[in-house]
Amino acid sequence: MASIKDVAAQAGVSVATVSRVLNSHPSVSAEARTRVLAAVDALGYRPNAVARSLRTAQTRTLGLVISDVLNPYFTELARFVEEEARALGYSVIIGNADERPELQDHHIRTLIDRRIDGLLVSPADGGSPLMREVSLSGTPMVFVDRWIPGIDVPVVRADGTGAVKDLVAHLHELGHRRLAIIAGPAATTTGNERVEAFREALRELGLALPDAYIGQGDFQAASGRRATEGFLALPEPPEVVFAADNLMALGALDAIRARGLRVPDDIALAAFDDIPWFVHTDPPITTVAQPTAELARAAVRALADLIEGRTPQSVTLPARLVVRRSCGQDATDQRSTR
């Protein structure tokens, strides 16, 4: 492996000149810069990022701790985070919390030990003392998708309130009156927010949300199946099941099919969080879609601003309703579809 001395010898310059070129110092002549960069390419030299960080106090590395890597929404979010970070000159180390606060904290400790420049976190719950310690320590941190009230860091998230209201209005138009929801964990901001948005949208149309029509889930498919089995066992089952994330929607679909029922003929189904293969289910599933790519890019830019000493603002982007065929609408209805 080539060293900085090899590059200097090949380019006919001093080691100090090579160092200045690699650190974009303006004092190097254009001719010397060209020779050094040609030698770097010819020798395949790669500066040691850790060694450089000892001088610059930066590793050009970001940490991303996501709630569940098996959830397609977070997988897509991670992809766009990595893409935007790379465009800004950062690498990304990803930790999967698997919806477990203790595993989340393990990843955060590990990332800080590795001297990452900043953290992007989608909190697994709102009670982590470590998260508060990190925010007070001065480590640049941004919450993405979820957040913890009382911790003063920028938050980049989607607001699903309007899209959930649009969904409930759409279901009402189709004649549905008995609407149930599979909620996410009460310890998460998104879990609470989606239930309250659904409840308020129903209230505005004069509809109630009975306790029996609220199934407690944990953003995992198995909980969606259990909640739906409970709904279907009621003396008066709901006409619609709205799952507060995509994995719980898949669990709900499993439970419906296990009963020999059909969507939407026997019961309608909708989900929060769109995923590419929802268009390929039979029938395609109506969803509330978050702007995943835009959220990821905004979160990385906010974190980069923090690292560079600026003060970014929190960002809230609107989710939108995507109408497909799982709620009983005519397949030729093109309103808000894709």
Whether 52 is in a domain gets the answer no
The reply to whether 70 and 41 lie within a common domain is no
Please check the confidence at residue 52 and state whether its pLDDT lies above 50.
no
- pLDDT tens digits along 101-133: 899 999 999 998 888 999 999 998 766 778 888
Task: Yes or no: say if 96 and 308 are a contact pair by the CB < 8 Å rule.
Answer: no
Task: Yes or no: say if 132 and 108 are a contact pair by the CB < 8 Å rule.
Answer: no
Q: Measured in Å, how far apart are the chain's first and last C-alpha atoms?
A: 52
Q: Burial level of 110, CB count in 10 A (0-12/13-18/19+)?
A: middle
What CATH code is carried by the domain that includes residue 213?
3.40.50.2300
Whether 312 is in a domain gets the answer no
Whether 272 is in a domain gets the answer yes
Total structural domains in the chain?
3
The reply to whether 153 and 165 lie within a common domain is no
Q: Output the pLDDT for position 330.
A: 53
The reply to whether 143 and 230 lie within a common domain is no
Q: Output the pLDDT for position 36.
A: 83
Whether 336 is in a domain gets the answer no
The reply to whether 152 and 296 lie within a common domain is yes
The C-alpha atoms of residue 162 and residue 170 are separated, in whole angstroms, by 12
Mean pLDDT (the chain, rounded): 90
Whether 225 is in a domain gets the answer yes
Whole domain around residue 133: which residue ranges?
59-157+292-307
Whether 332 is in a domain gets the answer no
The reply to whether 223 and 192 lie within a common domain is yes
Whether 315 is in a domain gets the answer no
The reply to whether 166 and 279 lie within a common domain is yes
Q: Burial level of 58, CB count in 10 A (0-12/13-18/19+)?
A: middle
- pLDDT tens digits along 53-81: 444 568 899 999 999 998 999 999 999 99
Whether 249 is in a domain gets the answer yes
Record the pTM: 0.79
The reply to whether 301 and 243 lie within a common domain is no
Please check the confidence at residue 332 and state whether its pLDDT lies above 50.
no
The reply to whether 140 and 242 lie within a common domain is no
